[in-house]
Each structure stands twice: as structure tokens, then as C-alpha cells.
Chain A
Amino acid sequence: MTTAFALEYIPRRVKELGYCDDYSLRFVHLVLKASEVRKIEATCEFFILVKEPKNVNIDSDMGIFDLAYIATNELQYEHQGIITITNKGDTKRDVRFIQVIPKTIRK
């Protein structure tokens, strides 16, 4: 997913979920060391993956993103809940997300 498409997609998605236009965006650029496993708790927000990382496994309650994982029929770009990011390679990897944090009560 490109950053431009993500920025087009996010307002519609936030509206679908019943939140107002009052939300925050953060661009998150994670740097993972070789074989590093990182957990992010995103129960009240969601993360949109931009720029598909290679040799990285992103697993959450919503699905999985791993270009090398063959036992799935779909890859997920929108992640919520406990997100586990694993660098499967032996060099550092960059993973970029747009973090969407709704601030208001649902209508």
C-alpha cells in the first residue's frame, strides 16, 4: 500500500468504524535488528502498513502479512490488537506504518 493510498483510505475507514473526523495520525518507522521480535499493543488504534517489507512477518488479530508465507490466501495491511513483528532475516529491516488513533467517542 502506498502512503498516498493509505491517506485516502484512512478517513473512509475511520468513518466506517463510527468515529468522527477527530483522530490523530502518526507515521511509525520501525527499525528491526536481525531476528528481532517486537510486540505492539494496538487495542484502541490501528496500524496501516505502507511499503511492503521483505523477510518480515507481521502477525496480529486481524491477519498476517508475510510475503513468504504460503499457507494463506490473503495478506493483511490493516492491523489491530496485539501486533507481533518478526524480522526473519539476518540484517536490519525497516517497517513503516501509519498509526491511526481515534480520539472521540463513537457516534
Chain B
Amino acid sequence: MIREKVIITKLAISQAGQIQHFQVKIPHDALRIIGIELSGCYANNISAAQPVQAVAAVAAVKMQAAVQPVQAAAAVPAIAVAQARQLKVASVRVMTSIDALFRQTATPMSYTASPFVGNVRLQSCENTNVFFSGDVYLSDENVGYGDYSVTAQFPATAATHGCKNEAYLVNTPGKTTILKGIYRDRQPAAGQVPATYTVNVYVWYETIITKL
């Protein structure tokens, strides 16, 4: 009986331009590696990572958006971004939350680039050599694109509107003892505060189970 298993490797990234080497140990019973999946998430939640004033500014705009969605749609960038800049706490997390809030109240046809942060390469010790290269995005910013059912009270989120995650299909022999990986952060080195985030690398493999 063939069973699929997964190995998860977490990489903590805290610097712009960081290059993180890592190894994924492949068990001896692995027949072949069948898929690679990537995901990224911010290291801390918004309230834990920023000063109280910024949280209050975002909360105030959220309340305004809930009461007067139309006016808030126009007011959010001016108010929140200005306040965040005045407070000099315009971190990536603040901007992301403000952007997300703006999208909730903006039209469903507004398109925003997803935050691309870096890419992962995987190399097998065997003859497949470098067999995978993939980009890491921290979120899908256009999850509600074109969906007119989205409202300020019921915004599009990954939990409600996101698609099922699918692994990239690969076919690499499992006899390789380790996979060697390299993650490169591609955030701009200057200009804005770099995000602190975690990258998850999921390696799916097949194995034979003889006894249940």
C-alpha cells in the first residue's frame, strides 16, 4: 500500500536580502518525491508587532468603514497612511492591514499585486540535480477579484474565498538522502522596513506501507 507523507521545513526570515540555506532529510523508506508546496506568513500578528497608536489608527478606520463603507473607501488611504507615516511606524504589517482594509471597501475589480518576498530552489543529491524553483507570496491580495458579493462586512479572505492549495508536481527519486535548499529574500534592501516572516516548504513523498 502506497501512502503519501509530507515533511515541513520552516524558515525564519528577518533581513532584506537574506539567503537561507537548508536541508530536508528524506527518510530511507521514501520511494519518490512527488510534490512541493510553498507558503509564507508574517512572523507576528499585527497587534503584537506594532505600537498601540498604529493599532488604534487602524481600528478607527475599520470602525468608520463598518459604519460608512462608501465614504471610508475614499478616506482610508488618506487617513490611515497619513497617520501611520506621522507616527513613523509605517511598517509592512501596518501598510498591509491598511491595504487589506481598503480592498475590502474598494470595488471588486481593483487589482493589487500580491506581496512577493522571495524564491526557493531545491536540489537533489542524485541526477535530478536542481529540480524545483518556486516563488513565495505572503498572501493572495486578489482573492475576491471580480466577486461582487464581497461587502465591507463580509470581506474576501483566504479562509472564505481562497482556492484549495495544490502542490507543484515533481518526480524525484527518494533514494536521495537529503534535499538541499536555498531561499533568497527578494525584498528591496532600502526604501521600506523589511517584513519579518516565515516560509514553509512542504515536501510530499510516497512510501510503501507493508503493515497497517
- On A, residues with C-beta under 8 Å from B are 16-18, 61-64, 69, 71-74, 76, 80-81, 106
Q: Is the CB of A18 within 8 A of B21?
A: no
B123 on the interface (CB 8 Å rule)? yes
Q: Which residues of B contact A64 (CB under 8 A)?
A: 19
Choice from A18, A62, A71, A73 contacting B123 with Cβ under 8 Å: A62
B108 on the interface (CB 8 Å rule)? no
Residue in B19, B21, B126 whose Cβ sees the most chain A Cβ within 10 Å = B19
Q: Which residues of A contact B15 (CB under 8 A)?
A: 71
Q: Which residues of B contact A72 (CB under 8 A)?
A: 18-21
- How far is B182's CA from A73's CA once the two chains are assembled, in angstroms? 10
Nearest CB on A from B43, distance (A): 16
Residue of A nearest to B133 (CB): A61
Q: Which residues of B contact A81 (CB under 8 A)?
A: 130
Residue of A nearest to B14 (CB): A71
B180-212 near A? 1/0 per residue, CB < 8 Å: 001001000000000000000000000000000
B47 on the interface (CB 8 Å rule)? no
Nearest CB on A from B117, distance (A): 14
- How far is B16's CA from A16's CA once the two chains are assembled, in angstroms? 34
Q: Which residues of A contact B19 (CB under 8 A)?
A: 63-64, 69, 71-73
- How far is B125's CA from A100's CA once the two chains are assembled, in angstroms? 17
Nearest CB on B from A68, distance (A): 13
Q: Is the CB of B126 within 8 A of A61?
A: no
- How far is B124's CA from A16's CA once the two chains are assembled, in angstroms? 10
Choice from B17, B20, B126, B182 contacting A18 with Cβ under 8 Å: B126
Q: Is the CB of B129 within 8 A of A63?
A: no
Q: Which residues of A contact B32 (CB under 8 A)?
A: none
- How far is B99's CA from A79's CA once the two chains are assembled, in angstroms? 40
Nearest CB on B from A89, distance (A): 20
Residue of B nearest to A15 (CB): B127
Nearest CB on A from B198, distance (A): 15
- How far is B129's CA from A62's CA once the two chains are assembled, in angstroms? 11
Q: Which residues of B contact A17 (CB under 8 A)?
A: 126-127, 129
- How far is B124's CA from A17's CA once the two chains are assembled, in angstroms? 9
Can you add 8 more A-B contacts, CB < 8 Å, to A18-B127, A61-B121, A63-B21? A62-B121, A63-B182, A71-B185, A72-B19, A73-B20, A73-B21, A80-B130, A106-B127
CB-based closest 6 A-B pairs: A18-B127, A74-B21, A72-B19, A71-B18, A71-B15, A71-B17
Nearest CB on B from A77, distance (A): 12
Nearest CB on A from B40, distance (A): 17
Q: Which residues of A contact B21 (CB under 8 A)?
A: 63, 72-74, 76
Q: Is the CB of B182 within 8 A of A62?
A: yes
Q: Which residues of B contact A74 (CB under 8 A)?
A: 21
Q: Is the CB of B125 within 8 A of A16?
A: yes
